Structure 1
């Protein structure tokens, strides 16, 4: 196992004398450790294989009451710092996956610790309000100063939710309500519509559809599963809706080096998408909305040209379909812009934008016309969690004061260039390096090799994630700097070199 490195980069006046432990890990004295507690580690420190013995023991305890088949290892979040995740066996790893793209500014950031320990926030943490009915007095202020301060262009409203799946699920409902109001010419359902809706029949439950794309992932709830087309394990045995599915462009990367063949493939997919909208309307099952990710994450980190999305937006407008951009994974800054769809350069890029993960809370931004005008149409008890809005406000401040968008762009350039070099060095193993900002991926020769590489990298102190059939996706925090990118590439190279 690799030797440990001292936590933090301190000025010479604060640097302690180092103590080398029996395990070979460098340690500072307890007093200095207190001074350094908010300073990030300087590198991985591996003491056991992962999962280690304590993780394995905890897994046996948990499997008595819960499925642990997807558990990788157990974590010590108190000891985790910045870009480094520590497990219960004392292994310290550079985390380039961050809880499936969900940690915006690293572990135990002092700004978030301050929110948690501020006595003024005590009531918010103790008393979880039903936000739709009994919101706290500071709720409007926190939404306006936080979420609405980063609202996508053209979207003047926001609806908070708890997670990505329920964000999309309720966004779908908002689209259907909007579409039916448009069909009726007014927003008052008839008595027959009301009567039939409660017994799952038309006209109260209309035969409307949503258009989605192969390889897309929009959640695991029932409605979202109808638009999720990645792995069978997510859908098999579960009833679903028969809705249209368009092909997603299968492109060569880098996009700019293969423009001719890629443009032909994108044109084919756009033509089929429009054809589906027309055909389903003729069948009496109109497409109320189109849902798409700026980068297909779970489905393999696929992204098309910006022109593809601009043209798709135009098709949706032409046929009166709502356009929902799912930014659950891509939102919050990891592509180098706060919203990935900003790269498209459209004045009117979306009708609804859903979010979660790095945004800490879930929800969706929407245009005024997608806001239901009656109570309880979009509703649940909590509608998210107000404490997450408190955290998000601080995250947004940190992003701005520390210029993290620029940091992501710099680190992303290092990462992507390094991935290009690695695939040139190991052409029999790696291909199709791609990405925007630090939202990057690379394909591995096959699924078994990919899975083996993930384990090798983890045991060298690097946490990564898989996606698609044979891809590795990289999802660092926004505080992932150029030095972290170089360290990641060095460790990743060492792990690849051990593959046959």
Structure 2
């Protein structure tokens, strides 16, 4: 096919209003996306919506291409027909990524479907709890937070509060309780009292919702750091309070780690920041083990999506991990994705990429703070954990214009929320890459000023 015809052909069948570069899958390398039409190289700081962990065409991944080829020729139904490749994946996932306090797993294709199955685990658990206790309540509601994003599928549509209302408008939704999100404004030390007041209000709303729906709330779900809603961070003291509320009211605590998982925050999972000696927020977090989830959903960087759950599920007999077909799908996740993640995890483990993300994330955050000092009228609220970083612009228009200017300068980034630019680099991004990105920002901000 003539490369100039690629977009034209695609446009004949779908709404092809995506980014201008056409990716060259063979020539793209590291953190650099190569446009197949123009040959121009772009610094990719969005990593395919945070789904790529080790960049493009990593030498180790290319060396393992035969493993991917074998997995790609046939597509087994992993839920019922098992393979050596699947076993090797599960062994590697358990060793490198799966927390020992979340021993139950389930795999599926799609982050939204991962969240849905996390909810189904909680629904089943709560209803069985209610029946055992003589309650007629169905346990059919999910408490969630403003500015959240959990997907676009049936259940998750009711949980998504995207700044882009086109994603949910006109679609039927459940009337599930939505409460305030007590996000941190940075620097925290200058805004601590304000954030504490927001936390108090949010916890009040949560307790009111539980009182209004006795025995009917199955789960509380939130992203450890809200992504699309605006890169919103929370203090671990607040997360501990959620853990306590969940314990006291027979409610499952679910962390949606689809975007925050697999090392980008400098921990394998973002919720692992909520522990003593690690927390950088000004709170009395004590023993952070009390902020552990009952369930996490994962996707994006994991390639294959799914959930991991704690032994709290085993408080009821016949739960979804004991009874066949309560949760299931035809494929049980793609075997190719499983093999690809196996290779990625081997590389992440070998090169200590989670620790590298923490180290280079600090370099990125300090670089952002320098931008904030240099452009005080434009850049504010610089924040981040590991490489999962963001800052704010004064308005949506300026944010959107800055994204366009950055593309012209050779860097690809996305917005989040109404005012933020989000950074989602690959785990192996270099400080030289970050420096190039900051130079692009300076040129773009000078044009925007």
| TM-score of the pair, normalised by structure 1 | 0.81
Give the distance between the partners of 2:387 and 2:147, measured in 1 at CA.
Answer: 21
- Which residue in the other structure is 2:142 paired with? 210
* CA deviation after TM superposition for structure 1 residue 304, in Å: 1.1
* CA deviation after TM superposition for structure 1 residue 93, in Å: 0.8
Pairing 1:150–2:93 present: no
**What whole-Å deviation, never above 9, does each CA across 1:309-334 have from its counterpart, x for those lacking one?**
11111111111100110000000001
Runs ≥4 residues deviating over 4 A: none
List gaps (5 residues or longer) in structure 1: 1-52, 187-202
Q: Which moved more, 1:340-349 or 1:256-265?
A: 256-265
Contact 1:83 1:477 in 2 (8 A): yes
Q: Which moved more, 1:395-404 or 1:473-482?
A: 395-404
Contact 1:177 1:372 in 2 (8 A): no
Give the distance between the partners of 1:141 and 1:413, measured in 2 at CA.
Answer: 34
Pairing 1:165–2:95 present: no
- Which residue in the other structure is 1:19 paired with? none
* CA deviation after TM superposition for structure 1 residue 72, in Å: 4.0
Q: Which moved more, 1:403-412 or 1:232-241?
A: 403-412
Pairing 1:221–2:168 present: no
Contact 2:149 2:228 in 1 (8 A): yes
Give the distance between the partners of 1:93 and 1:71, measured in 2 at CA.
Answer: 12
- Which residue in the other structure is 2:289 paired with? 347
- Which residue in the other structure is 2:132 paired with? 185
Contact 1:146 1:389 in 2 (8 A): no
Work out which of the residue numbers 27, 32, 45 in structure 2 matches 1:79.
Answer: 27
* CA deviation after TM superposition for structure 1 residue 274, in Å: 2.1
Contact 1:157 1:365 in 2 (8 A): yes
Pairing 1:63–2:5 present: no
Pairing 1:320–2:250 present: yes
Work out which of the residue numbers 152, 162, 165 in structure 2 matches 1:232.
Answer: 165
Pairing 1:427–2:370 present: no
Work out which of the residue numbers 181, 193, 210 in structure 2 matches 1:260.
Answer: 193
Pairing 1:95–2:95 present: no
Work out which of the residue numbers 251, 276, 282 in structure 1 matches 2:209.
Answer: 276
Contact 1:251 1:265 in 2 (8 A): no
Give the distance between the partners of 1:54 and 1:271, measured in 2 at CA.
Answer: 57
* CA deviation after TM superposition for structure 1 residue 218, in Å: 0.4
* CA deviation after TM superposition for structure 1 residue 484, in Å: 1.8
Give the distance between the partners of 1:138 and 1:107, measured in 2 at CA.
Answer: 23
SS of 1:498's partner is helix
SS of 1:337's partner is coil
Contact 1:163 1:362 in 2 (8 A): yes
**What whole-Å deviation, never above 9, does each CA across 1:90-134 have from its counterpart, x for those lacking one?**
11011110100011011011222222224xx54422111111111
Distance change (3 Å), C-alpha of 1:325 and 1:422: same
SS of 1:289's partner is strand
SS of 1:219's partner is coil
Distance change (3 Å), C-alpha of 1:336 and 1:178: same
Give the distance between the partners of 1:383 and 1:479, measured in 2 at CA.
Answer: 29
SS of 2:213's partner is helix
SS of 1:323's partner is strand
Contact 1:465 1:473 in 2 (8 A): yes
Give the distance between the partners of 1:239 and 1:125, measured in 2 at CA.
Answer: 37
SS of 1:380's partner is coil
Q: Which moved more, 1:233-242 or 1:105-114?
A: 105-114
Give the distance between the partners of 2:415 and 2:20, measured in 1 at CA.
Answer: 13
Please tell me whether Structure 1 or Structure 2 has the larger radius of gyration of its CA atoms.
1
Contact 1:410 1:482 in 2 (8 A): no
Contact 2:139 2:217 in 1 (8 A): no
Alignment of 1:380-459 (within 5 A): 380-459=329-408
Contact 2:138 2:216 in 1 (8 A): no
Q: Which has the higher contact order (CA 8 A, sep 6+)?
A: 2
Distance change (3 Å), C-alpha of 1:423 and 1:122: closer
Contact 1:408 1:481 in 2 (8 A): no
* CA deviation after TM superposition for structure 1 residue 375, in Å: 1.7
Contact 2:104 2:321 in 1 (8 A): no
Give the distance between the partners of 1:341 and 1:178, measured in 2 at CA.
Answer: 22
Give the distance between the partners of 1:422 and 1:411, measured in 2 at CA.
Answer: 17
Give the distance between the partners of 2:444 and 2:157, measured in 1 at CA.
Answer: 35
Distance change (3 Å), C-alpha of 1:292 and 1:353: same
Contact 1:115 1:391 in 2 (8 A): no
* CA deviation after TM superposition for structure 1 residue 153, in Å: 4.3
- Which residue in the other structure is 1:34 paired with? none
SS of 1:472's partner is strand
| TM-score of the pair, normalised by structure 2 | 0.90
- Which residue in the other structure is 2:283 paired with? none
Contact 1:414 1:486 in 2 (8 A): no
- Which residue in the other structure is 1:176 paired with? 123
Pairing 1:472–2:414 present: no
